[in-house]
Structure 1
Amino acid sequence: MAGLVVPTRDSFGRLQDGTEISRFTFQNKNKVTVRIINYGGIITDILVPDKNGEIKDINLGFDNIKGYEARHPYFGAICGRVANRIAGGKFTLDGKEYQLPVNNGQNHLHGGVKGFDKVVWEARVDDDTLVLRYVSPDGEEQYPGELTTEVRYRLTNDNELSIDYTATTTKATPINLTNHSYFNLAGQGYPNLDDHVIWIDAFTYTPLDENNIPTGTLAPVSGTPFDLRNPTRLGDRLKSVRNGKGYDTNFCVGGRTGNLTRVASLAHTPSGRKIDVFTTEPGLQCYTGCNMAAGVFGKGGVEYRKLASVCLETQHYANSVNQPNFPSTILRPGQSYRHTTVYKFGLTS
């Protein structure tokens, strides 16, 4: 076990129904700390030193389980069975039409009314790996098939947080899993993203219609506010994106689906903190908290504001189940869904 970062386990409190929730804490030799609970597979804390050694929590969330059990914008959670939006909550698979619950205007979002972010996962520790397992029954949120999912978290002494997703099903079903952590490298609760510099390796993105559903086309980023192929200061860009609403945009980082590839980075110049994002997925949803409701108070009682955090959600494109020209999200019996994402924490050079 030498050299491995082995998580410890303690209690994070109880849900309203009395279920005890476990918290798992990784801390490596560089004083990077990651905490995860088995409710929603939520990453509650990510503590990272800056260039001067000052440690801050860069991940939005709550101090206790009550905050996570109440309505919140998916802080740190596993989103599924299908992350992102499905138009009208409808899709047709093998000649049968399915109607899912709609929970985002007229759309189905992040798995529905009770997605994977709101369930208690079975948890175990295998050496240096936290393994969460959930069996979603056939018909849960109106999805077909019993889906068995495992999510494995591991923190290394190279400051790499890896998230490995696998799943099998008893019937053909759509699946699209992601992690929905909100980052602010100046520290959770900092009121803006102005000094953050972002880079996303994407030549195309998926434009949205008036209902926030992809139109089905892959548009070039060149000459648009969605061109982030060169490091771009968010304070210079956000006001020009979607009339000042910021990013809620899927970038097509694929063409390499299945190969772990560096697709994005986020850096904060004053602190020197940096995240590099590696994934096997074809898409990366960049979301800058534009829909954050007023009056959301997080850890330490700080109020979370719009355009003051960024999610880098590795996944398939939204509404893929209704777009045959998008990479497929259909999993069939006998197949195995696999998806790996690595967030590597470091310092700018």
Structure 2
Amino acid sequence: MRFGATPTGETVDRHVLTNGRMRVGILTLGAIVQSVELPDGTDVVLGLPTVADYLQRSRYFGALVGRYGNRIAGGCFTLDGVSRQLPCNDNGNSLHGGKAGFDKRIWRAEADGERAVRLTYVSADGEEGYPGTLTTSVTYTLTERDELRIDYHATTDAATVLNLTNHSYFNLAGSGDVRDHVVTIEADHYLRVDAGKIPLPGAPTPVAGTPYDFTRPTAVGARLDGCYDHCYVLRPGGVMRVEEPVSGRTMEVTTTEPGVQFYTGHMLDGIATPYGRQAGLCLETQHFPDSPNRPDFPSTVLRPGQEHVSTTTYRFAG
């Protein structure tokens, strides 16, 4: 169904997935997860009502971000001996694909019954400074187990770098803030960052004995005033869990990615966006920030003939 149109006249559609209990709204703008309604009717993601809101007031709410989710220091990297300069849109760094990343593009959608939709976007060589024509698809599936499954796939005709993720903000209470949400992240290390949120040199830092330890269930607001925006190095097969203690609603996240950016929405201000401080939390499954400049990190290089394949699943209960 038609959701609206961009200022240039491009149509934005909304697809609704249902498994008979849950309903999930997906937009062709930015491959955005606009809503996740649980069986009791509670919407547990932060969404916006109009195209204009998403273009002017969004902080990547529900979006598919790329080509490179998270930050690249100075917007610079060298690939196969060629230096590349990207637009800098975050304190001198490139964030989430630049000024006009995948979150601002119109994706082509193909529905697969009531439970799945596949969205595709072709990013031209040189778009936002990235080399290679990149074809990306993302399939959202609402399973019988009340899971929202996200399958990513990408190919390129020239070597490029790639780090795709979904930027949904979750609030299992449906309103208020997430300070009382209890979080578990099966990760024994995290990446310390500088003032620009670029990982510092050296090996990942153990979480043990620090405020960044979520290996045991811990309330968001229990430490550091609930302010987190850090990448965690997941254990192999590591699981993330979130529980809202009043309602008893839970979310369990699994992924094939090596890391997750845990962000608690403390930079939301309720003015530039309609949501206030800590109105939602993000678990952005991904490779590590600034990987194109860090040969010690898992590679984010994609070459012709290779396929990027990744899966993340959010399972809801309660």
Relative to the length of structure 1, the TM-score reads 0.88
Q: State the partner residue of 2:243.
A: 267
CA deviation map 1:242-271 (0-9, x unaligned): xxxx000100005x3xxxx35201110101
Q: Unaligned 5+ residue runs, structure 1? A: 1-9, 299-303
How many corresponding residue pairs?
316
1:305 pairs with one of 276, 289, 313: 276
Separation of aligned partners in 1, 2:141 and 2:53 = 25
Q: State the partner residue of 1:212.
A: 197
- Whether 2:275 is the aligned partner of 1:285: answer no
CA deviation map 1:186-218 (0-9, x unaligned): 10xx33223210000000000001221001330
Q: State the partner residue of 2:29.
A: 39
Kindly indicate whether the alpha-carbon contact (under 8 Å) linking 2:180 and 2:244 is maintained by their aligned counterparts in 1.
yes
CA deviation map 1:50-102 (0-9, x unaligned): xxxx4211111211212112242100000000000000000001111000000
Kindly indicate whether the alpha-carbon contact (under 8 Å) linking 1:39 and 1:120 is maintained by their aligned counterparts in 2.
yes
Q: State the partner residue of 2:176.
A: 191
Q: State the partner residue of 2:147.
A: 160
User: Are residues 305 and 39 of structure 1, via their aligned partners in 2, closer, same or farther at CA, if it must alter by over 3 Å?
Assistant: same
Deviation, structure 1 residue 21 = 1.0
Deviation, structure 1 residue 129 = 2.3
1:251 pairs with one of 225, 228, 232: 232
Kindly indicate whether the alpha-carbon contact (under 8 Å) linking 2:57 and 2:272 is maintained by their aligned counterparts in 1.
no
Q: State the partner residue of 1:6.
A: none
Q: State the partner residue of 2:38.
A: 48
Separation of aligned partners in 2, 1:126 and 1:294 = 37
Kindly indicate whether the alpha-carbon contact (under 8 Å) linking 1:79 and 1:117 is maintained by their aligned counterparts in 2.
yes
Q: State the partner residue of 2:308.
A: 337
Q: State the partner residue of 1:16.
A: 7
Q: Structure 2 matches for 1:48-197, cutoff 5 A? A: 48-49=38-39, 54-127=40-113, 128-187=115-174, 190-197=175-182
Separation of aligned partners in 2, 1:184 and 1:286 = 14
Q: State the partner residue of 1:3.
A: none
- Whether 2:202 is the aligned partner of 1:202: answer no
Kindly indicate whether the alpha-carbon contact (under 8 Å) linking 1:262 and 1:276 is maintained by their aligned counterparts in 2.
no
Q: Unaligned 5+ residue runs, structure 2? A: none
Deviation, structure 1 residue 235 = 2.8
Relative to the length of structure 2, the TM-score reads 0.96
Which has the larger displacement, 19-28 or 161-170? 19-28
Q: State the partner residue of 1:326.
A: 297
Question: In structure 1, what residue type is equivalent to 2:233?
Answer: C
Kindly indicate whether the alpha-carbon contact (under 8 Å) linking 1:221 and 1:227 is maintained by their aligned counterparts in 2.
yes
Kindly indicate whether the alpha-carbon contact (under 8 Å) linking 2:178 and 2:279 is maintained by their aligned counterparts in 1.
yes
Separation of aligned partners in 2, 1:327 and 1:40 = 26
Give the 3-state SS of the residue equivalent to 2:242 in structure 1: strand
Give the 3-state SS of the residue equivalent to 1:57 in structure 2: coil
Separation of aligned partners in 2, 1:126 and 1:183 = 25
After TM superposition, where is structure 1 displaced by more than 2 Å over at least 4 residues in a row? 126-129
Q: CA RMSD in A?
A: 1.3
Separation of aligned partners in 2, 1:99 and 1:76 = 27
Question: In structure 2, what residue type is equivalent to 1:42?
Answer: I
Question: In structure 1, what residue type is equivalent to 2:17?
Answer: F
Separation of aligned partners in 2, 1:186 and 1:71 = 22
Separation of aligned partners in 2, 1:125 and 1:238 = 43
Deviation, structure 1 residue 125 = 1.4
Kindly indicate whether the alpha-carbon contact (under 8 Å) linking 2:33 and 2:168 is maintained by their aligned counterparts in 1.
yes
Which has the larger displacement, 121-130 or 95-104? 121-130
Identity of aligned residues (%): 47
